[in-house]
Amino acid sequence: MNLVATLSAIVGSDHVLVEAAAIAPYLIDWRKRYQGSAQAVVRPANAREVAQVVAACANAGTPMVPQGGNTGLVGGSTPDASGKMVVISLQRMNRVRAIDCDNDTITVEAGCVLQAVQQAARENGRLFPLSLAAEGTATIGGNLATNAGGTQVLRYGNTRELTLGLEVVLASGEIWDGLRALRKDNTGYDLKQIFIGSEGTLGIITAATLKLFPLPRAQVTAFAAVASLAAAARLLDLARAGAGAGLTAFEVMSAGCIRRTVTELPRVRAPLPLASPWFVLLELSDHEDETHAARVLETILSGAIDAGMVQDSVVAASIEQSQALWRIREGIPEAHAKAGGNVKHDIALPVSAIPAFVEETNAQLSARFPWIEPAVFGHLGDGNLHYNMGTSAGTPIAVAFEHEHEINRIVHAAVAARGGSISAEHGIGQLKRAVLPEYKSALELKLMHQIKETLDPHGLMNPGKLL
Ligand SMILES: Cc1cc2nc3c(=O)[nH]c(=O)nc-3n(C[C@H](O)[C@H](O)[C@H](O)COP(=O)(O)OP(=O)(O)OC[C@H]3O[C@@H](n4cnc5c(N)ncnc54)[C@H](O)[C@@H]3O)c2cc1C
């Protein structure tokens, strides 16, 4: 039997796609930068089928590409151009297996869409806090494989911090059942950590046990205009002191990003005149009520105005107003994509290093490329910026892409010089694979290769990504 026939015997022929039109959406990434080809897309229904599919591909020496919602931003879930790979889509595996409210845990299959997991938690009076703009499409498996961050990391941590157990199909076709629901387990190496953030290069995550939290009684959002990133960093300090663990998001956006979003997306409106260079979105989650939450935020903001940190601010008076403020922040990637994209960097630095990094790197870039226009936003509370570079009016965006390599080098060198990371939350994928060796020590790379060779000795799990 050829491989397609074998795969059809495992999952049913309806779930082995080979027609060009049917497989097309699985072969291109969200940003439309990577276009691949594949001999088939397989859609298994459960972990046992995934294991059989992996074993069949391994027997045939066929490389595999795990895929969830295909919202990744580094080309990790796109096959190469050889046409030999098989894409394994987890989207049919979308069951919530269990919710344990006494233990505050939920066990879900890897193809569950993040928003559906949040909803299942909410229906049980719990919060699953992972939140990102692609949450209506991105899957838990993809979140785990990229160790996704998002807007609530400040309070709840990355996907890694939210994970208690995993079920993984290994490259050998064995199923590792590590679905423990324990907050303490010191029985040796914590194997799940190897798979979290491994971008599909070590195995296929088929299910996870995740932490739940009490559902806040109220969430209130505010929007504040600040004169500089240094002022935004001081506001973060003040907000933490005033709200403690109640501060669940602290996002920064340049005025240029907001202007672009308002222009491109009719559903988005700016709540304040865009007269300041930077704006901050703060979210407070409260276990009393909305009046209390709004009072805490207003106290923080009036203190910040008195201290000269904040120039203007607005506190949302309803859930609808909060959602409207979030739409500005969450619309930025879509607005940039609509406008032709830009040269992206997803960097992490100590918060204290961010104002000088942005000022000095902006100056360095504009001295070299007079047409450059920074489009910067991100999770300032986590020290994570999307430090993206577009072009000023009159210069086509293609010019920035022509110089992408040099722009990247300048930015990455500035990040490395300050002890930062060239990938805070999106991963390495294909986009940064070639440059990773410049920013990891030889010993770190050697250990990563040794792990890869141990778990995937034939190099069939998502080759051409990460390492
Ligand atoms: C508008 C927008 C906003 C975004 N905002 C954020 C953000 O704030 N924070 C953030 O971290 N990311 C963000 N992202 C990036 C993206 O949503 C995340 O990386 C997300 O976790 C990817 O999930 P996915 O299911 O789409 O994975 P995919 O794109 O399908 O895959 C991503 C990687 O994971 C691997 N993979 C997928 N499923 C599995 C599995 N079950 N087992 C093993 N490997 C697997 C793939 O091979 C690939 O390498 C954003 C993306 C968009 C489009």
pLDDT of residue 36: 98
Query: What would the two tokens of residue 426 be?
Result: 């999106």
What three-state secondary structure class fits 425? coil
Ligand 1 atom showing the smallest separation from residue 29 Cα: 29
d(CA 292, CA 115): 28
Whose structure tokens read 């022509």?
402
Residue-wise pLDDT for 50-71, tens only, equals 999 999 999 999 999 999 999 9
- DSSP tally for the chain: helices H, then strands E: 16, 18
Closest residue CA from atom 20 of ligand 1 = 143
Ligand 1 proximity of 150 Cβ (cutoff 6 Å): yes
pTM: 0.95
The residues near 211 (Cβ < 8 Å, ≥ 6 apart) are 104, 105, 162, 163, 164, 183
The whole-chain average pLDDT of the chain stands at: 96
Residue-wise pLDDT for 356-399, tens only, equals 999 999 999 999 999 999 999 999 999 999 999 999 999 999 99
What's the gap in Å between 346 CA and the centre of ligand 1? 14
pLDDT of residue 1: 67
pLDDT of residue 194: 98
d(CA 109, CA 99): 12
Ligand 1 atom showing the smallest separation from residue 168 Cα: 42
pLDDT in tens, the chain (467 residues): 699 999 999 999 999 999 999 999 999 999 899 999 999 999 999 999 999 999 999 999 999 999 999 999 999 999 999 999 999 999 999 999 999 999 999 999 999 999 999 999 999 999 999 999 999 999 999 999 999 999 999 999 999 999 999 999 999 999 999 999 999 999 999 999 999 999 999 999 999 999 999 999 999 999 999 999 999 999 999 999 999 999 999 999 999 999 999 999 999 999 999 999 999 999 999 989 999 999 999 999 999 999 999 999 999 999 899 999 999 999 999 999 999 999 999 999 999 999 999 999 999 999 999 999 999 999 999 999 999 999 999 999 999 999 999 999 999 999 999 999 999 999 999 999 999 999 999 999 999 999 999 999 999 999 999 99
Instruction: Name residue 100's beta-bridge partners.
Output: 105
What three-state secondary structure class fits 267? coil
What's the gap in Å between 364 CA and the centre of ligand 1? 32
Query: What would the two tokens of residue 85 be?
Result: 């790979």
